[in-house]
Structure 1
């Protein structure tokens, strides 16, 4: 069924109302950002690294193929720009607000979890040897054989933050959420078998995977770090998306809860808050007179008719559309 225009709800008309309703969410978002900054500043746990443990930690010290600043540009800014484009087409500030809020929550929750685990685990990076001994002259404690590093302190501190990968978790958090969002917008799971839609959904996941793989190629992370970071980001992204939007494969679930049966259709493009707003705008008696003026919809004309079957009268509904008339005429002929 074709999309039904549900009216325009713009930033000017509903923006202040939505911002006030979600004020506490934005406050929590700011607190998460502050916590993440603190976790990046504090000293991580310095795990014991003995002489015999450096065999797998002698990979060369390289610069990042994808710098740190590029990750939020790809995983946050780019999805927000595309979401803005969808807003200008749909004129639905509920969708824009919840998409941006959900994306930021996905990334910041993932960031706090990732950096907290990094500081607690303190796993050495694959290039730890050259971070610890930049001149190649290794020094160890005579009793414990633990390394005695003489490199730059900030470089050594970063050398103890291998698990999990922050690039991987942030990328999968932002782009994973965006993949869910795209799946809902293009109705990827409408059961019509359009594989091209899946290619669009998997494109952000592919981009996140390439970012994660670069961390192994640059010898900044072990493969376990990348796998754990990507899994963490994707799980958090899924929870955050489902917090604000119905599942993309739900063809009529949320809408059926709030609107009459004659007005159900695929609603995976809309956030929960939008349909709660529509439900609140309905008459309290729950009648089917949802204002067509509010929804810009003219419902199909329904006419009552009686069908004689086995000596009993049954009330049926007849649609004025010619296709349904022909079907009903066929039903009558079979019953005669």
Structure 2
């Protein structure tokens, strides 16, 4: 372990540990972010795809009663799977990139000394660094205290919120006209919650600002990839454009 000891906050003549902030419980737990983020998106996908297929979209000509219902049901299943898979893949990608950063770069958390509980009798700060392992705290907590960069909470929060914003813009806005009044409100709430989660990691002394920034960018980038680059979405757009043409032809007749 290398522990840098320097001046914090520009306090002249007062030298304090750079990672000596007090340990605090998380304002937003990881379980809560996973539960709310993934559940809300999956419910949203289910709702939007059902509205698109069973309310907005019309089956091709000649499809009546049971046959038309089966046709719509099969298309609903396809659109549901094709929308859910990119979301799940993007979440895995965001978590994987975050974990690679944590276990390769790591970085000490701002509250590291609080969980390390060093034996100060073995600390020699004459060179400015503590190289030997002097921690006496819980090994699991100490290990987690070395995984500050990037922020997993931030990457997850911004992934689920950004995916929701882009998904609604891509799937709901063009086809469900009444939803256009609701979508901006949902998007604003999602982004505010993501920002609150990310900033709470700094106020809780869990991460440095650059950890949060890096995690947020990972989440946003993963969401953009899931929405714009995966072929399932392009196939859905092609099918939906065909359905729009079919509806237009029916109205003209």
Query: TM-score scaled by structure 2?
Result: 0.73
Aligned to 1:49: 3
Flag the 1:242–1:178 CA change in 2: closer, same or farther, 3 A.
same
8 Å CA contact 2:4–2:18 kept in 1: the answer is no
- Structure 1 unaligned runs (5+)? 1-45, 189-193, 246-269, 282-289, 302-336
Aligned to 2:104: 120
Flag the 1:204–1:98 CA change in 2: closer, same or farther, 3 A.
farther
Aligned to 1:255: none
Report the alpha carbon displacement of residue 102 of structure 1 after superposing the two structures with TM. Answer: 1.4
Aligned to 2:93: 109
Aligned to 2:216: 230
Aligned to 2:30: 68
1:87 aligned residue (49, 69, 73): 49
Flag the 1:178–1:275 CA change in 2: closer, same or farther, 3 A.
closer
Larger Rg: 1
- Name the CA distance, whole Å, in 2 between partners of 1:131 and 1:50: 16
Report the alpha carbon displacement of residue 52 of structure 1 after superposing the two structures with TM. Answer: 4.1
Count residues in correspondence: 215
Give the CA RMSD over aligned residues: 3.2
8 Å CA contact 1:50–1:146 kept in 2: the answer is no
Report the alpha carbon displacement of residue 217 of structure 1 after superposing the two structures with TM. Answer: 1.4
Question: Residue deviations 1:211-240, cap 9 Å, x none?
Answer: 111111111001111111111110111111
1:185 aligned residue (167, 171, 192): 171
8 Å CA contact 2:227–2:233 kept in 1: the answer is no
Question: Residue deviations 1:136-165, cap 9 Å, x none?
Answer: 857425876335111111111111111110
Query: TM-score scaled by structure 1?
Result: 0.56
Q: Partner of 1:126: helix, strand, or coil? A: coil
Whose helix proportion is higher, 1 or 2? 2
8 Å CA contact 1:103–1:178 kept in 2: the answer is no
Which gives a bigger RCO, structure 1 or 2 (Cα 8 Å, sep 6+)?
2
Aligned to 1:158: 144
